[in-house]
Each structure stands twice: as C-alpha cells, then as structure tokens.
Amino acid sequence: MWDFEWTFEVLPDLLGGLWTTVQITVVAYLMALVLGLVISMARRVPIFGSILHFVMEFIRTTPLVMQLVFVFLLAPSTVSGMTVGVLVLGVHYSAYTAEVYRSGIEGVAKGQWEAARALSLPAHRTWGAIVLPQAIRKVIPALGNYLIAMFKDTPLLFAIGVAELLTEAQRVGSADFRMVEAFTLVGFLFLVVSIPSAILIRRLEKRYVAV
C-alpha cells in the first residue's frame, strides 16, 4: 500500500533533486541555443563548415550517456559532475538546434538576401535585422521541443554522480525499500514541469509562427 507519511518525508529531498534538474536544463538549454546559432552561421563558411558538419554528425550519432561518461573521466578532478553535465548537454543539443536554425535560415526568401545586398547593408545588419528575426520565428516550436527533450534526458546524469531527481529517488527509495513510491513521484514531478512547458511552447507557436 502507498505510504503517504513516507511520501511527505522524502518529498523535500525529491524537490531538491528536481531543482537541480531544472537548473541544469535551463543553463544547458541556453548554451545550446547560443552555440547552435553560432554553429549554424559558421557552417556557411565553406571549409570551416565541412569540419563543423562532421563534428555535429559525430555528436548526434553517439549516445549522450557515453559522451557524459567520457568527458567526466577526462575532466580534471576539480570539475564537478554538474559542470560536466551542463557542458555536455549544451554541446550535445547544440548539434540539434544548429540544424533547426539552419532550416529556418534557409527558409528565408532569397529576395530578402538580395534586397540586403542591394541596399549594401553590413553583415551584422543583414543577420540581425532581416534574416534571424524571420528564421527564429519559424523554428520556435522545434526549439521548444528540444527543451522538453533535454529535461527528460537529465536523468542520464546519474552516470556521473549528479544528484538530480532520479538519483535522489533511487537513493531514498532504496534506503527504505519504497522504490514504487519513489519512481512514481519522479514521474509526477516530471509531468509538473513538462506539461506547463509544453503549454507555453504551444502558445508561443500560436503567437509568433502563425503571424
């Protein structure tokens, strides 16, 4: 039977793990957004773009948990597992956001580029005022989906000892032999964060993409 008294006793520990999970997700996601945009723009440089394409393909086609463990083992002992987790998640998902940005940039009408050249606009004005505002608006739903995907991938950080939500649940559950309650609470807490995030993404989609 479900032990509600035990549930309320361990809930603070699980909420602490959830807070760690949210922090990692937010920082890594912001990193993925910025780095992905830089990569998508840099890939337009012929030679440099080919190298970046190979690196991004390698990242996308290797398991995330393997990347986490590999970088954690190579990192200096002074670097925490949480730092490694943020960096690896950010770089891993930047390989996906870069493709999303690329599709948005390629979706900008050719006439927009030609008009910018005809007006002799500098590169930063062409990108900042013409190309990126149109490209990013189109890819908001895809970028938002990667936020939720990253949030759901954070339990993989257990492999490098990060005390995120799933790790905390395993700890408290195994201590009192209450694994069913512990993992049920994990699922509930993930839904508490994921569902509002999905609703927000849909609203952003309706507001910006449909315009």
How many CA atoms does the CB half-sphere of 148 hold within 13 Å?
Answer: 18
Question: How much is the pLDDT for 166?
Answer: 83
Question: How much is the pLDDT for 47?
Answer: 78
Out of 44-48, 156-160, 194-198, 207-211, which region has the weakest mean confidence (pLDDT)?
A: 207-211
Question: How much is the pLDDT for 118?
Answer: 79
Question: How much is the pLDDT for 58?
Answer: 92
pLDDT at 96 over 90: yes
Contacts of 67-70 spanning 24+ positions with Cβ under 8 A: 67/92, 68/156, 68/157, 68/159, 68/160, 69/159, 69/160
CA dihedral 171, 174, 175, 179 (to 10 degrees): 100
Question: How much is the pLDDT for 209?
Answer: 60
**Per residue in 26-53, pLDDT tens?**
999 999 999 999 998 888 777 777 888 8
pLDDT at 82 over 80: yes
- pLDDT confidence bin for 208, thresholds 50/70/90: low
pLDDT at 106 over 90: no
- The stretch 107-125 carries a mean pLDDT of 78
pLDDT at 90 over 60: yes
For the chain, which residues make up each domain, given as ranges? Answer: 12-209
Question: How much is the pLDDT for 6?
Answer: 81
Burial label for 186, CB within 10 Å (0-12, 13-18, 19+), is buried
- The stretch 159-180 carries a mean pLDDT of 83
Distances (CA, A) of 124 to 10, 42, 129, 178: 52, 14, 8, 57
**pTM for the whole thing?**
0.85
- pLDDT confidence bin for 91, thresholds 50/70/90: very high
Distance, in Å, from the CA atom of 87 to the CA atom of 36, rounded to the nearest integer, reads 13
What are 12's two structure tokens? 């603070």
Assigned CATH for 12-209? 1.10.3720.10
What percentage of the chain carries pLDDT values higher than 90? 28
pLDDT at 105 over 60: yes
- pLDDT confidence bin for 210, thresholds 50/70/90: low
Question: By three-state DSSP, how is residue 119 classified?
Answer: coil
Distance, in Å, from the CA atom of 71 to the CA atom of 89, rounded to the nearest integer, reads 11
